[in-house]
Amino acid sequence: MLSEHSRQLIARRLEALGREIADLQRQDANRPAEERHNTGVLLALKEWEFSAAQPFLKSP
């Protein structure tokens, strides 16, 4: 579990990583096709609760 502060920090880092990936894609766009590979990256931050872990979580 993360505080809102930590979630915001992670969100900023994911945004920066997304920008870096986009920069790399632009840089590699001029390279020959045989030197490039289809690559996907998913960056996400979502509040989520694993139901199987529920018995181990502290009640609020």
DSSP-assigned states of every residue in 34-50: GG---------------
Q: Give the mean pLDDT of the chain.
A: 91
Is the pTM for the entire model greater than 0.85?
no
pLDDT tens per residue, range 37-60: 999 999 999 888 778 877 887 766
Amino acid at 23: D
- Separation CA 40–CA 37 (nearest Å): 10
- Separation CA 9–CA 28 (nearest Å): 29
- Separation CA 4–CA 11 (nearest Å): 10
Q: Where are the domains of the chain?
A: 4-56
